Amino acid sequence: MKQADLFDINGHVALVTGAASGPGLAFAEVMAENGAKTILTDIDAAGLDRETSRLRAAGCDVERVVVDILDTAALRAAIDGAVERHGRLDAVFANAGISSGPGYGLSPDGAIDALDLALFERAIQINLHAAFHTIRLAAIHMKRQKSGSIVVTSSIGGTRSEPFVGYGYAGSKAAINNIVRHAAADLAPSNVRVNAIAPGAFLTNIAGGRLKSEPERAKKFAAMSPMNRIAMPDEIKGLALLLASPAGSFITGAVIPIDGGTTAR
């Protein structure tokens, strides 16, 4: 098979949660730029308007749906609506997520006896429960059509103890990693693949965008990686395209780090 065919997603239908910025926007861009009909969802209406307008101006076939990821009925409506409009669903990126505050290695507020418990619970709700429902609702359609790729945004903080991330974030990402493996085995007979991308330090808006505005914090995160830098959102696009395209046809149940070598140490 030629390279162009391996990565051909032209005419596919893709849906991305948390698509107004960061890795979610990168996922939406790489899908749309390679010919997929792409539905961007986010709670940030202004961000969605800005990015869908930009992508449409570039000739991409994109839609926007404002969704609070914690509203399971609204999430179902967005996913079901995509299938009703386009007849199928080829790729879903369960990307929406939040920080749960600093890790114990960054601040005394991150220690287990000083946690913001409300933020801990909210991280579990969004990063675990909402991500699970995204997988589940996508699987309903993909199982019926006997094809599809579900990609979850996890974190290397869910694969090992990581002092720079909060308890809620680490716990939610560890749990979603195992749900990915579980769902992959469950859905494999239906030719539906489920994988997780586990980024290291990327320049995103998570945690209030502090890596952009706090040089000392950014320096600490950069030092985690043997490459000694923080990745840009565009650097996640290649892996996303692999997992969503025919090139990834035998990859399922994987939690793939993209971290500049951090977990190799």
Long-range contacts formed by 154-159: CB under 8 A, 24+ apart: 154/180, 154/196, 154/197, 154/198, 154/199, 154/255, 155/198, 155/199, 156/198, 156/199, 156/200, 156/257, 156/259, 156/262, 156/263, 158/198, 158/255, 159/198, 159/255, 159/257, 159/263
CA angle, 93 as apex, 121 and 6 as ends, to 5°? 155
- Which region holds residue 151: left if phi is over 0, alpha if psi is between -120 and 50, else beta? beta
Q: Flag whether the pTM goes above 0.85.
A: yes
Amino acid at 12: H
pLDDT at 178: 98
CATH number, domain at 153? 3.40.50.720
Q: Residue 204: is its pLDDT beyond 80?
A: no
Angle, helices 45-57 vs 22-33, to 10°: value is: 30
Instruction: Show the 3-state SS of the chain.
Output: CCHHHHCCCCCCEEEEECCCCHHHHHHHHHHHHCCCEEEEEECCHHHHHHHHHHHHHCCCCEEEEECCCCCHHHHHHHHHHHHHHHCCCCEEEECCCCCCCECCCCCHHHCHHHCCHHHHHHHHHHHHHHHHHHHHHHHHHHHHHCCEEEEEECCHHHCCCCCCECHHHHHHHHHHHHHHHHHHHHHHHHCEEEEEEEECCECCCHHHHHHHHCHHHHHHHHCCCCCCCCECHHHHHHHHHHHHCHHHCCCCCCEEEECCCHHHC
Q: 152 in a domain, yes or no?
A: yes
Per the structure, the count of domains in the chain is: 1
Residue 83 lies in a domain: yes
Could you tell me how far CA 159 lies from the centroid of its own chain?
16
Q: 234 in a domain, yes or no?
A: yes
Please determine, for residue 94, whether its predicted confidence score (pLDDT) is greater than 80.
Answer: yes
CA–CA separation, 114 and 121 (whole Å): 14
Per-residue model confidence as pLDDT tens digits over 132-183 = 999 999 999 999 999 999 999 999 999 998 888 999 999 999 999 999 999 9
Is the per-residue pLDDT at 207 higher than 80? Answer: no
Tokens of 159: 């694969």
Q: Which residue has the higher pLDDT, 29 or 104?
A: 29
> pLDDT above 70 covers what percent of the chain?
95
Residue 264 domain-assigned (yes or no): no
Would residue 262 count as lying in a domain? no
Instruction: Tell me which residue range forms the domain holding 120.
Output: 3-257
Give the pair of three-digit tokens for residue 47: 């961000």
pLDDT of residue 205: 63
The pLDDT value given to residue 210? 60
In this predicted structure, what is the pLDDT of residue 105?
87
Q: Which residues are catalytic?
A: 169
Q: Is the pLDDT of residue 213 over 80?
A: no
Q: What is the largest CA-CA distance in the chain?
A: 56
- Indicate whether 263 belongs to any domain: no
Average pLDDT over residues 124-128: 98
Phi, psi at 193, each rounded to 5°: -100, 140
Q: Flag whether 142 is in a domain.
A: yes
Q: Choose between 210 and 49: higher pLDDT.
A: 49
Residue 232, domain member (yes or no): yes
Which pLDDT belongs to residue 163?
87
Average pLDDT score, the chain: 93
Least confident range from 48-52, 113-117, 121-125: namely 113-117
Poorest-pLDDT segment among 9-13, 54-58, 210-214, 229-233 = 210-214
Higher pLDDT, 211 or 27: 27
